[in-house]
């Protein structure tokens, strides 16, 4: 089947769709998931508010998810991917409690930031290759990888990393997984099932496009993805073991399983021509995980619907007397634990075999690998990864056992509560029960008859990833393949008994053993790294710098225009202004000074006038210097003139008087006598 539809004028770049085996499989899977959850939703949401909003955005998410899986070029994928992120946000935060809003905020932030970075990567890819349709991307990227210059290759990898950012975040890939363990537990259970089962797979879809079309057969890319996948599955497994919240455990389990899928995606590129096992394993684990999480989240949803509690210690023992729920959950647990005869086993075996095959290829000197590793190193590395894979399988068994034993086997620490749990009564409607049974029934059917079911699905779907059919059919139940599954179970049993039962349980004051949350609260990538960096350091730095720039630019402009400019130019202009004025003043003081009329000196008073003027000048000088502030206030000209006239009057009077004449005569006589005496 191959139908395609292109709408070239739409949305700027044009949209294009295609239906082939892979897309048909996932379109059907999406529809199946939505159908099952929609049948479960009415009972789950019976007492919720704003159901209309929930249904609207649920359907919008459905539409967008279908768009992602049916898209035939990266741009169309992206458009619907963003739409899906935004629409699913409203479903996630449906109950609008504070914790929900916080988780939703993280979900939205990751979606929007991831989306924009991905858009950037898509843009770079478009610039490098000139087209975004999968077929032409494959052709032109193959050319680039084969014969591109250093510069072009660098940009191709940058573009790839950018695209990986958004899709990887949606796929819960380390270190962008932060939203996943937060958003799943707070969303309504049907939405959790969809989120975990199918929406994360749309992220994987992007990774598959990158692996199969952009970096087909590129060892370095394969190693990167495989490494990230390994980290994701390990971290998910560890978080799930430590979790004491049923939905959080399932969410972390999703992360772990998605890590396995991502590892498979990486193996596709590493295996190059021989990627049949990896391709089929990846596709089938995507299908299986979707089905498994549908069952598990709906089963958890039934518990939450009745108890409105998620803590393992509180719901402990709830399922003891509920055989239907117990059977359904057990099927899911066995499936996801990779127990033979259940579906998870088949895909995990394929993924495991693909790693084994790659190690063998490396020993033979085949298989693509990045330049900086020798085949021997790579072989050792992937032998390690093989064991980590088995270890993750073991962790899966361990945390599913923990959940099952806690909810369905053990008694609650509080006997009264246990009695209430054990009371007969309807805990779900017949419709919900039927849906649960049907969904659970699929798992063993797929697992028991892989040749009839899963292999055929893989056959139709693998052309999308350019997978080659395996040289010989895989015998899932041969001893070699069973060995891997059994090792995982053994590891799981060991982890459960040694770590979960001993390390992760604590004795309460009344002596009852309860599940303890031993995960250090501080050890959270979100609160440890992302929030301090993105919400505090970065805004403080950038914002501070910009604020400074703003002030500077504003300040400099104001300062220059308001102060410096007027001051400098004002000074010059005043100087220039003063030059003219100063010239005029100088001339007036010197050459063009107005003459004062010459003072009229009265006759007979010449001396007192000049002496008085001199004294006046001296007094003025003293007034200005020594006697500052207390001037004498005398006019010496007048003073002297007065004295002179007094002197004149006195002289005239004396000359005119008789005594003066007698005195003069006496003086004359005395002079004559003196003359006679002395000279004679």
Partner 1 sequence: MSSYILLAPILLPVLSGAGMLLFPFWNARARNIFVEAVVVVNTILTLAVLRLAPRETLYLFSLSEKLPLTLRIDGLTVFFAAIVALLWPLATLYAFEYMRHEERVNTFLAYYTITYGVTLGVAFAGNVFSMYLFYETLTMVTLPLVMHTMAPEAKRATRKYLYYMIGGTAFAFIAMVFYVLYAGGTEFTYGGTLDLDRIAHHDNVVYLIYLMGFFGFGVKAAVFPFHSWLPDASVAPTPVTALLHAVAVVKAGVFAIIRFTYYCVGPSLLAGSWAQHTALLFAIATVVFASTMGVREPHFKRRLAYSTVSNLSYILLGVMTLTPLGLLAGLAHLLFHAVMKISGFFCVGAVMHQTGREYVYDLDGLGRRMPLTFGAFLISALSLTGIPLFSGFVSKWLIARSLFAQGGILGQAGVLALLYSALMTAVYLLTVAVRAFFPDREADTASLASYTDPSWQMLLPLGVFSVVTVLFGVCAGPVLSALEGIAQGLV
Compute the distance between CA of residue 303 and CA of residue 319 in angstroms, rounded to an integer.
Answer: 8
Compute the distance between CA of residue 564 and CA of residue 580 in angstroms, rounded to an integer.
Answer: 25
**Choices 270-278, 501-509, 555-563, 657-665 (CB under 8 A): range interacting with partner 1:** 555-563
Compute the distance between CA of residue 165 and CA of residue 175 in angstroms, rounded to an integer.
Answer: 10
Nearer to partner 1, 546 or 579 (CB): 546
Compute the distance between CA of residue 153 and CA of residue 136 in angstroms, rounded to an integer.
Answer: 17
Nearer to partner 1, 542 or 665 (CB): 542
> What is the size of the binding site for partner 1 (CB under 8 A)?
43
Nearer to partner 1, 473 or 555 (CB): 555
629 lines the binding site for partner 1 (CB under 8 A): no
Q: How far is the CB of 38 from partner 1 (least distance, A)?
A: 24
10 lines the binding site for partner 1 (CB under 8 A): yes
Q: How far is the CB of 113 from partner 1 (least distance, A)?
A: 6
**Choices 23-31, 299-307, 551-559, 613-621 (CB under 8 A): range interacting with partner 1:** 551-559
Candidate list 449, 557, 621, 667; residue touching partner 1; CB under 8 A: 557
Nearer to partner 1, 26 or 89 (CB): 89
SS3 468: coil
What are the tokens at 253? 């389990």
Residue with tokens 């100087």: 575
101 lines the binding site for partner 1 (CB under 8 A): yes
Query: Count of residues for the chain?
Result: 680
Q: How far is the CB of 133 from partner 1 (least distance, A)?
A: 16
| Site pattern 517..546 for partner 1 (x: CB under 8 A) | ----------------------x--xx-xx
Candidate list 98, 511, 602, 633; residue touching partner 1; CB under 8 A: 98
CA torsion angle 30 35 36 39 (round to 10): 150
What are the tokens at 576? 């220039």
Q: How far is the CB of 99 from partner 1 (least distance, A)?
A: 11
Candidate list 17, 54, 62, 75; residue touching partner 1; CB under 8 A: 75
Beta bridge partners of 513: 507
Nearer to partner 1, 114 or 222 (CB): 114
Q: How far is the CB of 93 from partner 1 (least distance, A)?
A: 6
49 lines the binding site for partner 1 (CB under 8 A): no
Q: How far is the CB of 406 from partner 1 (least distance, A)?
A: 33
**What Rg, from alpha-carbon coordinates, does the chain have?**
50
| Site pattern 368..387 for partner 1 (x: CB under 8 A) | --------------------
Whether 184 contacts 250, CB under 8 Å = yes
My answer on whether omega of the bond before 568 falls inside 30° of 0, hence cis, is no
SS3 222: helix
Q: How far is the CB of 556 from partner 1 (least distance, A)?
A: 7
Q: How far is the CB of 220 from partner 1 (least distance, A)?
A: 22
116 lines the binding site for partner 1 (CB under 8 A): yes
Whether 378 contacts 227, CB under 8 Å = no
Nearer to partner 1, 87 or 640 (CB): 87
Report the number of secondary-structure helices (H) and strands (E) in the chain: 27, 4
Residue with tokens 């009265």: 602
SS3 149: coil
SS3 445: helix
Nearer to partner 1, 115 or 259 (CB): 115
587 lines the binding site for partner 1 (CB under 8 A): no
Whether 29 contacts 290, CB under 8 Å = yes
Candidate list 120, 324, 486, 526; residue touching partner 1; CB under 8 A: 120
Cα 258 from chain centre: 22
Q: Identify the CA nearest to 57 among candidates 45, 69, 72, 75.
A: 45
Compute the distance between CA of residue 252 and CA of residue 646 in angstroms, rounded to an integer.
Answer: 129
52 lines the binding site for partner 1 (CB under 8 A): no
Compute the distance between CA of residue 326 and CA of residue 332 in angstroms, rounded to an integer.
Answer: 10
Estimate the share of the chain in helix, then strand, then coil, as percent rounded to the nearest 5.
75, 5, 20
Nearer to partner 1, 549 or 567 (CB): 549
Contact residues toward partner 1 (CB under 8 A) are 9-13, 75, 78-79, 82-83, 86, 93, 96, 98, 101, 104-105, 108, 112-113, 115-117, 119-120, 123-124, 126-127, 539, 542-543, 545-547, 549-550, 552-554, 556-557, 561
């Amino acid at each position: 089947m191959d139908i395609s539809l292109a709408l070239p004028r739409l949305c700027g770049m044009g949209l294009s769709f295609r239906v082939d085996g892979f897309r048909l499989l996932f379109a059907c899977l999406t529809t199946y998931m939505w159908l099952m959850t929609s049948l479960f939703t009415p009972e789950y949401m019976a007492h919720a508010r704003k159901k209309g909003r929930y249904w609207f955005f649920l359907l919008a998410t459905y539409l967008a998810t279908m768009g992602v899986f049916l898209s035939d070029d990266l741009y169309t994928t992206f458009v619907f991917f963003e739409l899906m992120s935004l629409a699913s946000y409203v479903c996630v935060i449906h109950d609008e409690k504070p914790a929900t809003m916080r988780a939703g905020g993280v979900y939205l932030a990751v979606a929007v930031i991831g989306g924009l970075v991905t858009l950037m990567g898509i843009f770079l890819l478009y610039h490098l290759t000139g087209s975004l349709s999968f077929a032409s991307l494959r052709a032109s990227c193959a050319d680039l990888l084969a014969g591109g210059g250093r510069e072009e290759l660098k940009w191709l990898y940058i573009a790839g990393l950018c695209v990986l950012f958004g899709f990887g975040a949606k796929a819960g890939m380390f270190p962008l997984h932060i939203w996943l363990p937060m958003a799943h537990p707070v969303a309504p259970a049907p939405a959790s099932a969809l989120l975990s089962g199918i929406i994360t797979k749309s992220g994987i879809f992007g990774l598959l496009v990158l692996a199969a079309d952009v970096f087909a057969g590129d060892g370095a890319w394969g190693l990167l993805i495989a490494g990230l996948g390994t980290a994701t599955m390990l971290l998910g497994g560890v978080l799930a073991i430590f979790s004491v919240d049923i939905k959080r455990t399932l969410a972390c389990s999703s992360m772990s399983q998605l890590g396995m899928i991502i590892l498979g995606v990486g193996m596709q590129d590493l295996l190059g021509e021989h990627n049949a096992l990896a391709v089929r394993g990846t596709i089938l684990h995507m299908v299986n995980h979707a089905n498994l999480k549908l069952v598990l989240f709906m089963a958890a949803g039934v518990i939450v619907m009745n108890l409105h509690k998620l803590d393992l210690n509180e719901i402990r023992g709830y399922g003891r007397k509920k055989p239907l729920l117990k059977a359904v959950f057990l099927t899911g647990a066995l499936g996801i634990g990779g127990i033979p005869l259940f579906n998870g086993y088949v895909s995990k075996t394929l993924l495991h075999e693909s790693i084994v095959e790659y190690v063998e290829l490396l020993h033979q000197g085949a298989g693509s690998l990045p330049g900086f590793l020798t085949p021997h190193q790579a072989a050792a590395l992937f032998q390690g990864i093989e064991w980590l894979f088995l270890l993750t399988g073991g962790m899966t068994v361990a945390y599913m056992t923990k959940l099952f034993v806690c909810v369905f086997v053990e008694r609650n620490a509080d006997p009264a509560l246990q009695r209430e749990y054990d009371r007969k009564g309807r805990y779900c409607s017949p419709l919900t029960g039927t849906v649960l049974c049907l969904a659970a029934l699929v798992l063993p059917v797929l697992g028991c008859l892989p040749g009839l079911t899963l292999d055929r699905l893989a056959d139709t779907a693998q052309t999308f990833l350019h997978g080659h059919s395996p040289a010989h059919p895989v015998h899932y139940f041969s001893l070699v393949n069973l060995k891997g599954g059994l090792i995982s179970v053994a590891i799981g049993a060991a982890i459960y008994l040694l770590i979960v039962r001993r390390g992760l349980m604590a004795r309460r004051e009344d002596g009852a053993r309860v599940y303890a949350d031993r995960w250090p609260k501080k050890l959270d990538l979100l609160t440890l790294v992302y929030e301090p960096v993105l919400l505090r350091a970065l805004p403080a730095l950038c914002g501070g710098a910009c604020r400074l720039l703003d002030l500077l630019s504003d300040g400099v402009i104001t300062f220059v225009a308001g102060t410096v400019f007027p001051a400098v130019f004002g000074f010059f202009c005043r100087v220039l202004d003063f030059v003219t004025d100063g010239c005029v003043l100088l001339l007036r003081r010197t050459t063009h000074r107005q003459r004062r009329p010459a003072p009229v000196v009265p006759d007979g008073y010449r001396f007192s006038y000049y002496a008085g003027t001199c004294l006046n000048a001296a007094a003025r000088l003293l007034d200005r210097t020594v006697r500052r502030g207390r001037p004498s206030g005398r006019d010496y000209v007048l003073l002297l003139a007065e004295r002179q006239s007094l002197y004149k009057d006195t002289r005239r009077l004396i000359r005119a008087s008789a005594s003066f004449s007698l005195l003069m005569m006496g003086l004359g006589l005395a002079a004559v006598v003196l003359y006679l005496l002395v000279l004679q």
